[in-house]
Structure 1
Amino acid sequence: MTGDIYKQCIGEPTEPSNIVIFGAGGDLTKRKLVPALVKMLRCGLLHKKSRIIGVLKGRTQADWLDSLYHGMHEYAPDIDIDAQQWQTFSALCKMVPGDLQDESTYAELATALETIDGCTHAMFYCAVPPEWYTTIAIGLNKVGLGEEKDGFRRMVIEKPFGMDLESAKKLNRELQAVLDESQIYRIDHYLGKESVQNLLVYRFANSILEPLWNRNFIDHIQISAAESIGIEYRANYYEKSGALRDMIQSHLMQVMTLVAMEPPVEFTADAVRDEKIKVLRAVRAIEPENIKKQTVAAQYSSGTIDDEPVGSYVSEEGVSPESATETFAAVRFYIDNWRWQGVPFVLWTGKRLPRRVSEIVIRFRKPPFNLFDAQASSPLANALVFRLHPDEGIALRMNAKLPGLTTEMRRSVMRAPYSEEGGDVADAYEVLLHDVLIGDATLFSRADEVEESWSIIQPILEAWKDRLAINRYHAGTWEVEGMEELLSDCVLGWHKPPY
């Protein structure tokens, strides 16, 4: 990072605020939150009078700041922050030592909050395991930090929002007992991706798409998140979660609601979320006898990725050798409403696949009669692809004639990169932290959304919970048993990303 740390960029300015991070010595803080806050300060999206307060125990403030500084260089080297620029940022930081179970910690935090320009705004970010969310909310409430007397009070929690329907309802009840729903921000970093947000603009700002966006023209939709990495350091979490909870219930179902929703009456948080919940409520329940037909679960075995051998899931540190946890999951949903009746929505995700690619593939129906099928080198079908990662943008796949004295066909692709000039695309946490500070809840899940999505997934969880074995696929391949069958009646079948 060169020049003045206060470099302006596009975005609504925020008011001076206290940004409180519970679990400020943890991995999330070092990897994501602090780099995002540094960039926001650089861009003017974080007010330079704001204060960053870390709540943690067992360290001095000097040790904590030193750890964050080294974390910047390890996890966000592209920001290229030097010692002087770090000093500017760290001057905004202070630490409140204490245990989250100790009431005195919250009393000391109340004293540490600063009144800036006549207001004591506060955002409380829970960078801690989910079992601490209720403890923190109750602790804040006991010392009056849930009351919005002299400024806003907003609590941010990370997924998972429960591990099933019952636990999600319990968490919502506990939080809503001490906070208003409008104060609770359930953060899903996937919705903070610029390319996901741009999906709404592509849909609702381009009249050319709307006439085609329905069952009359669309054969099916695939929403995917393929990863080449394994579970890394998350064995303890992943063994309890699996791919279905980790990606489909949260990230991919949220994207599905954006793809399928009706145009909101206005672009406000409640209007957008009202349309999203309508989509979830229209999802057809998966009957127990149809779960095998509409789902796929698999686990990676050893293989090769980028010419490097990789081990199996059960060989990962912290994973049981008998584990039947899925690292690949796919679900075929139907949305029973006027627009989407009969159109399959196939959501799939997996680890240790050949490459990291996230896409939304809109496959259109074939023409009822095509004069050129005989001349096509491959089956003719159109597709609109929203690329979420890498090379964010949109691609329209059409059919064209090969040059020369022939009528042979080939597939032609028209591409619209999201950032044509290689501009700085904001990280998801920058977007979402900024939205919390300005009070925009559009990209955050409401309690009813969370519970509805869990209710859709619950029958699958029940069917999978007692399994003793699971199908396996070799790391670095697309050889996942059941996927071809899952999409056998869909135009061109399973879309395996070509790059």
Structure 2
Amino acid sequence: MKENKVLFTIFGATGDLAQRKLYPSLFRLYRTGSLVESFAVIGTARRPWSDETYREIVQETIAYLNPTEEEAQAFSSHFYYQAHDVNDTEHYDKLKDLADTLDAKYTLDGNRLYYLAMSPAFFGTIVSHLESQKMLTSDGYHRVIIEKPFGTDYETAAKLNEEITSVFAENEIYRIDHYLGKEMIQNISAIRFANNIFESMWNNRYIDNVQISIAENLGVEDRGGYYDKSGALKDMVQNHILQVLSLLVMEPPVAFSEQEIRAEKIKALEAVRVYTPEEVKENFIRGQYTAGRLADNQYLGYLEEPGVAEDSKTETFVAGKFTIDNFRWSGVPFYVRTGKRLTEKGTRINVVFKQVPVNLFKAEVGAECEQPALEPNVLTIYIQPTEGFSLSLNGKEVGPSFNMLPTQLAYRNSAEAIENTPEAYEKLLLDALKGDGTNFTHWKEVAQSWRIVDVIRQTWDQSEEGCETYPAGTMGPEAAFELLEKDGFKWIWHPDEWYRERNLL
């Protein structure tokens, strides 16, 4: 395996993201040999830590991966800390001196990767200083990884993009969406393009509707202050859901390469109809959880959560229908839903196929045992917490009668396989090291996503109506179910029914 020579500089090195995701992911890359000796990490933040303190923290963050003491010491010895004020030009001069020293010490060939794990408000300031203080080398590559949210609407995203592209070229910018690093998200393309049974039917002739569900059973926890300024639409729909939708909708790329895949994803998002305010009211609903019970657990309502305004209208749930205006998908609704304090944590995609033209097995009206309608064939892609896929079919029930019995052909990745699967951030960091932007978002994707979402947001902000409500532990407001019912469909995934049947909800 080729060693990756690189100097990481992490802005926001003391934060939760760095400690929960970045340091463990870097350690996994170290353990697998993607990082060996020729790498170094500079951590910067306002806290006055020393190198020793920083290394102790790094070792604590990887303890659950059970490194040997020698392994932990060897890995953390590559980490260096410098207290930093992002607005202070002199601090960048000190960063440059340290970077140049480490480049020579570890023979890094001038390769620099900057990770901005901070508020987007500082992105423009940081990149402009990287340029003005000559921290972008001419010897190797320089790349920047940016966390979401990328702006708060199209206007702010465009301004942010202008600031960053004044310093970095588009192919040097890696806008991270950790969902694109998940194993089964990447498997969507494999399921589609490697199986003629699906790709030949992946169109409006055979598919009735598509459902994307991203459910969280947790509330806002200690993020109430942040979440109250964001909401489910911006937090989940603008990025994760629209990225998943683009992979489902896009045309087959000419080649499985970064350039071709991105081109098709951009075209897919451009085919998503940007609704008028009237269409938003018809096709999208928002909800907010109230106090509820699930099994032995009692939950607070959103308005009682710490950091949330008492009169907040922020949505904790979104359900909606997207329309795709192209030849392949004309007439096929794409339903999406996401929310907090739902029944179960889970992300899954349900592709619902059309029924056979005639049900041969339905008994005549008035017969003693009338055969019920056939269940639709459904391809389900499980993203998390379980990984795999299933296909539901109709078969004959064992016995003398000809009753239909729905059955599933299912595959799940084993617990061992899941445990050994690279974590999303690990995959994405390795992609950035290799210069592969396939699983990151291009500016044109971000821009179109904001155009789609901005109309929804603005319509809600201008409406005098508040959110629909739903008890914590349920799968959302009644309006989310009525959204599909008026089109003659229903949500395929309904984990709340199990609890209702046992009077636990």
Same fold (TM over 0.5): yes
Which of 465, 472, 480 is the aligned partner of 2:477? 480
CA contact (8 A) 1:419 1:425 kept: no
Q: What is the CA-CA distance between 1:13 and the residue it aligns to?
A: 3.9
Matched, 1:290 2:279: yes
Structure 2's unaligned 5+ residue stretches are 364-369, 499-505
State the alpha-carbon separation in 2 of the partners of residues 362 and 200 from structure 1.
14
Distance 1:298 1:118, change over 3 A: closer
Query: Could you tell me whether the CA contact under 8 Å between 1:402 and 1:410 is conserved in 2?
Result: yes
Structure 1 residues 379, 476: closer, same or farther in 2, change over 3 A? farther
Using the TM superposition, give the Cα deviation of residue 187 of structure 1 relative to its aligned residue in structure 2, in angstroms: 0.2
Displacement of 1:45: 2.1
Residues 324 and 467 of structure 1 are in contact (CA less than 8 Å); yes or no, is this contact kept in structure 2? no
Q: Aligned to 1:41, which of 30, 37, 41?
A: 30
Partner deviation per Cα, 1:248-278 (whole Å, 9 max, x = no partner) = 1100100000011011111221211110010
Percent same amino acid at aligned positions? 39
Partner Cα separation in structure 1 for residue 308 and residue 16 of structure 2 = 21
Q: Distance in 1 between matches of 2:487 and 2:397?
A: 27
Alignment correspondent of 1:7: none
Residue 299 of structure 1: CA displacement?
Answer: 0.4
In 2: Cα distance, 1:118 partner to 1:462 partner: 48
1:205-284 equivalences under 5 Å are 205-284=194-273
Structure 1 residue 420 displacement after superposition: 7.9
* Aligned counterpart in structure 2 of residue 429 of structure 1, from 425, 430, 446: 425
Structure 1: give runs of 5+ residues left out of the alignment. Answer: 1-11
Cα deviation, residue 224, structure 1: 1.2
Letter of the aligned partner of 1:180 in structure 2? A
User: Over aligned residue pairs, what C-alpha RMSD do you find?
Assistant: 1.8
State which of 358, 375, 383 in structure 2 corresponds to 1:380.
Answer: 375
Instruction: Give 1:228's aligned amino acid.
Output: N
1:304 to 1:81, Cα distance in 2 relative to 1, 3 A: farther
Partner Cα separation in structure 1 for residue 66 and residue 336 of structure 2 = 37
Partner Cα distance (1:46, 1:305) in 2: 45
SS in 2 for 1:297: strand
1:354 partnered with 2:349? no
- Is this contact kept in 2: 1:220–1:490, CA < 8 A? no
Q: Which residue of 2 aligns with 1:438?
A: 434
Select 2:400's aligned residue among 399, 405, 408: 405
The residue that corresponds to 1:112 in the other structure is 98
Residue 496 (structure 1) aligns with = 493
- Partner residue in 2 for 1:80: 66
Distance 1:111 1:346 in 2: 52
Task: Give me the TM-score of the superposition, normalised by structure 1.
Answer: 0.93
* CA deviation vs aligned residue, 1:397-418 (integer Å, no higher than 9, x gap): 1111111222111210101224
Shift of 1:490: 4.8
Shift of residue 66, structure 1, vs aligned partner: 2.3
* Equivalent position to 1:135, from 98, 112, 125: 125
Moved more, 420-429 or 264-273: 420-429
Aligned to 1:62: 52
CA distance in 2, matches of 1:44, 1:29: 21
- Distance across 2 between alignment mates of 1:130 and 1:306: 40
- Describe the superposition over 1:320-367 as per-residue Cα deviations: whole angstroms up to 9, x where unpaired: 011110000012111111110111011110110010010111001111
Instruction: Map residues 167-182 of structure 1 onto 2, 5 A cutoff.
Output: 167-182=156-171
Relative to structure 1, the CA distance from residue 24 to residue 306 in structure 2 (aligned partners, 3 Å threshold; closer, same or farther) is farther
Name the CA shift for 1:46/1:372 in 2 (closer, same or farther; >3 Å): farther
Instruction: Tell me whether 138-147 or 341-350 shows the greater mean CA deviation.
Output: 138-147
Contact map agreement 1:219 1:490 (CA 8 A) in 2: no
Q: CA deviation at 1:59?
A: 1.9
Query: Is the 8 Å Cα contact of residues 50 and 82 (structure 2) preserved in structure 1?
Result: no
Residue type at the aligned position of 1:476: G
Alignment of 1:447-466 (within 5 A): 447-466=443-462
Q: 1:101 aligns with which of 78, 87, 90?
A: 87
Q: What secondary structure does 2:217 align onto?
A: coil
Output the TM-score relative to the length of structure 2. Answer: 0.92
User: Is this contact kept in 2: 1:268–1:442, CA < 8 A?
Assistant: yes
Amino acid of the residue matched to residue 412 of structure 2? P
Tell me what 1:199 maps to. 188
* Aligned CA distance change for structure 1 residues 137 and 100 (closer, same or farther; 3 Å): same
The alignment partner of 1:212 has SS state of: coil
What SS does structure 2 have at the residue aligned with 1:411? strand
Where 2:263 maps in the other structure, the secondary structure is helix
**Aligned residue among 150, 155, 159 for 1:161:** 150
| Counterpart Cα distance in 1 of 2:257 and 2:486 | 38
* Local SS of the residue matching 2:62: helix
Give, as a single letter, the amino acid of the residue that structure 2 aligns with 1:496.
W
Amino acid at match of 1:27: D
Contact 2:30 2:36 survives alignment (8 Å):
yes
Cα deviation for residue 485 of structure 1 reads: 1.9
Read off the aligned partner of 1:348 and give its amino acid letter: R
1:68-93 deviation digits (Å, cap 9, x = unpaired): 333334xxx2x123433211111111
| Cα shift readout 1:10-37 (whole Å, capped 9, x = no counterpart) | xx64421101111101110111100111
Q: Which amino acid aligns with 2:429?
A: L
Write the distance in 1 (CA, Å) between the matches of 2:286 and 2:143: 38
Q: Is the 8 A contact 1:376 1:410 kept in 2?
A: no
1:122–1:151 contact (8 Å) kept in structure 2: yes
Task: State the secondary structure of the residue aligned to 1:386.
Answer: strand
CA deviations on 1:368-424 (whole Å, 9 max, x unpaired) are 211224565564211001100122011001111111222111210101224586351
